[in-house]
Chains A and B, each alone.
Chain A
């Protein structure tokens, strides 16, 4: 399953809720304001996924627009452009938008 999150963890429960339900092999894609959650700060709920079987992706153009730099993000985050976004959608049979 691919979870798509578009709000920051500080402003929405969506990311917390998604991480509680996601299981091995699932992917989480951070878009829009959710890219702030990719930042390497101790407050991000993504820290708990560090050694999990979850894959965490962030949409690069949305990061660039917001000044969220890859160097400042958690090292296990993977980055996708719009092409990668489409591929993620293609490769996951179930899509869950947590908006």
Chain B
């Protein structure tokens, strides 16, 4: 969805919060369950000009996660700042 929007020249910002931050973990092998691995897609975001990837610090702290466990470089922002990013958007899609 994000890649599609970006392909149509929309500015895309990706925000990760709650259990969603686990999606960034490296060394995932969803193929074991017959599922698609989205990690390569995350690595391709910059190719699609999606450079604004933010992760809520509070969600990381609650889960004891560190950014060096993630598959891509991300910007860590506070819960308040994440909310501000959402409010600044024209459209918001939740997954």
Contacts and interface: CB of A to CB of B under 8 A. Distances in A.
Interface of A: 8, 10-11, 33, 36, 39, 41-44, 61-62, 64-69
Contacts, number: 49
B14 interface: no
Interface residues of B, number: 19
B64 A65 contact: no
Nearest to A61: B32
B64 A66 contact: no
Interface of B: 18-19, 22, 25-33, 35, 59, 61-65
B58 to A, nearest CB: 10
The interface residues of chain A, by DSSP majority, are classed as: loop
Given A43-B62, A43-B64, A68-B25, A10 B19 contact: yes
